[in-house]
A and B are shown apart, each in its own frame.
With several copies, the nearest count.
Chain A
Amino acid sequence: MIDTIATVETNRELTPGYRLLTLSFDREIKARAGQFAMLKAHAAFEPLLRRALAVYRVHSPRRLSFLYQVLGRGTQALAELTGGGQVDALVPLGNEWPVEDKAIVVAGGIGSASVLMLSEALRAAHVETQIFFGAASHRVAVGCGLEDFRALGLPLTLTTDDGSLGERGFVTAPLERFLAAGGGVGATVYACGPWVMMRRVAEIARALNVRCLVSLEAPMGCGFGVCVGCVVAVETAAPLGYESYKRVCVDGSIFPAERIRWEVNAMAH
């Protein structure tokens, strides 16, 4: 974990509301698939807190990219950055996706940012991999890095909510058909996306007895385990004990889906 000021190389809009930020670092960053950074425009006085963004790509140990959706004040301030601009960065953070023997990658919306490096790693390890990629529309799919996923050459099933590209509907529909048809035997499902999507993926995987890992999102105060603000309720032996909550930033962001008490955390989403 390194706290440093990185320099913006490029900060390119892919489609309206979606951007790719490439940063250069003064030191080597050992970032693995599934890890994230806490970032903030250095010159911005507001908002105060850094924002969690998954490491999208490691071009070299000193050059990382982040794919992000422009939502509120923090990502808006990032979107204002231009080449040469400075970014406060704490990186790398969180645990990593394990590479298993057979893989089903499920990306929902900008959740894709967390699984491109995983998909690359799976391909490099010659793991049998199936990608399910869902987005709201054709435009959003492009913003969520569709072309980068297509370039991997792995089998990819695409859905859009509005049917403007691929199958119409949610990504969980073709996933369920695939698993129901036996596609999940011996596989691990890796999911990252909106809370409701991950919850549904978890249900489907559990019902069909497929192992499932999810990378969770939570509002983060610090990103390094100290504020205890980013917790998620997990199953424990002693229901109301000290172990009832886990920090997404250091105990995750990747968790086995069956550990998550989806109904408790639902209030947060």
Chain B
Amino acid sequence: MPEHDSRLAVEIAGIRFNNPVMGASGTFGYGLEFAGLIDLNRLGGFATKGLSARPLAGNPPPRIVETHGGMLNAIGLQNVGARAFVEEKLPLLAAYDTRVIANVFGYSDDDYLEAIRMLNDGEGISAYELNISCPNVKEGGIVIGNSPTAAARLTEKAKRIAARPLIVKLSPNVTDITQLARAIADAGADALSLINTLVGMAIDVNARRPRLNFGTGGLSGPAIRPIAVRMVYEVARTVSIPLIGIGGIATASDALEFMLAGATAVQIGTANYYDPCVTMKVIDGLADYCDRHNLESLAAIVGRVGEK
């Protein structure tokens, strides 16, 4: 087991993380994929691939396309299902000293609740993260995460049955993210994570077709970081529950932007693909920052961006 640098420890909803650096949902698999590449015991934690009540096959290819500074994905939430995760993946994760956040999604409130109930049976899950950026089939295809009312209602229901702290992951595809954040915080969420991907599209001009089979996809990577930092900054000034910052993080400096804007911890997504050891590098970089700035606790800088 590695020695942890105590200056980096953070707490969210009563859960202690050895450091604020996590893998983001959908980009970190079930964690195990990274076992041969990084020391999982050094990682603050990670959010699993989105888990649904039933396994899902996902979309036909092509599912990804690179853009300038980022990529579009339309994976279609392929996953083994909550039950298989509990039975097959969780026992293997027990060998590692890291925080496992189960990311959950569904196409209706009941879907979410069913998945959460399955996960309640699992050992070694620290928290749930609700991915509310999926279209709600019942409400005529509106995205739950784009409607403060729908999101608050789901949060309330989920909180009632969840055996672990509840993190709700915000969609950035909204006019006013503070309104959404406030509704979800008021509904009882223990923490918020943001941002999920922005909806985008790329077109093959010779074939005159979208580059993704699904048509549109979610934009992630460094391209979206300024939008994500701004949203964390706004939400931090609106709610008092802790935030997890996500969006285009690839270096310690990027992670620090989010912490200064108001995030207690961060998740790294796309950068894991092109730099599989990025999480370790960011942890090292945060320790360096503590050295250079004489910080006894990195948590002291959370939200401390001044007015320039």
Residues of A within 8 A of B (CB): 1, 3, 40, 45-50, 88, 90, 218-219, 221-222, 224-233, 240-245, 264-265, 267-268
Interface band, chain B = 35 or more
B200 at the interface (CB under 8 A from A): no
Most A CB contacts (10 A, CB to CB) among B29, B221, B272, B274 go to B274
Give bound CA distance, A149 to B213, whole Å: 37
Inter-subunit contact B61/A267 (CB<8 Å):
yes
Inter-subunit contact A48/B66 (CB<8 Å):
yes
Question: Among the listed B63, B71, B81, B272, which residue makes an inter-chain contact with A231, where contact means beta carbons less than 8 Å apart?
Answer: B63
Give bound CA distance, A180 to B34, whole Å: 47
Find residues 39-82 in chain B having any chain A CB closer than 8 Å to their own CB. 55-58, 60-66, 68-71, 73, 75, 78-81
Inter-subunit contact B78/A228 (CB<8 Å):
yes
27 contacts between A and B (CB under 8 A): A1-B37, A48-B69, A88-B274, A90-B276, A218-B61, A218-B62, A219-B65, A221-B71, A221-B73, A222-B272, A222-B274, A222-B276, A226-B27, A226-B28, A230-B63, A230-B64, A231-B61, A231-B63, A231-B78, A242-B80, A244-B57, A244-B58, A265-B61, A267-B62, A268-B60, A268-B61, A268-B62
Inter-subunit contact B61/A225 (CB<8 Å):
no
Inter-subunit contact B37/A3 (CB<8 Å):
yes
Residues of B within 8 A of A (CB): 27-29, 33-34, 36-37, 55-58, 60-66, 68-71, 73, 75, 78-81, 213, 221-222, 270, 272-277, 308
Give bound CA distance, A222 to B66, whole Å: 12
Interface of A is mostly: loop
Give bound CA distance, A3 to B36, whole Å: 10
Give bound CA distance, A224 to B34, whole Å: 9
Point out the residues of chain B lying under 8 angstroms from A40, CB to CB: 274
Inter-subunit contact B61/A49 (CB<8 Å):
no
Inter-subunit contact A226/B222 (CB<8 Å):
no
Point out the residues of chain B lying under 8 angstroms from A265, CB to CB: 60-61
Inter-subunit contact B71/A228 (CB<8 Å):
no
Inter-subunit contact A267/B57 (CB<8 Å):
no
Inter-subunit contact A3/B277 (CB<8 Å):
yes
Give the nearest-CB partner of B78 in chain A: A228
Point out the residues of chain A lying under 8 angstroms from B58, CB to CB: 228, 231, 244-245
Give bound CA distance, A243 to B79, whole Å: 10
Point out the residues of chain B lying under 8 angstroms from A222, CB to CB: 272-274, 276
Give bound CA distance, A47 to B223, whole Å: 12
Point out the residues of chain B lying under 8 angstroms from A45, CB to CB: 68
Give bound CA distance, A84 to B28, whole Å: 33
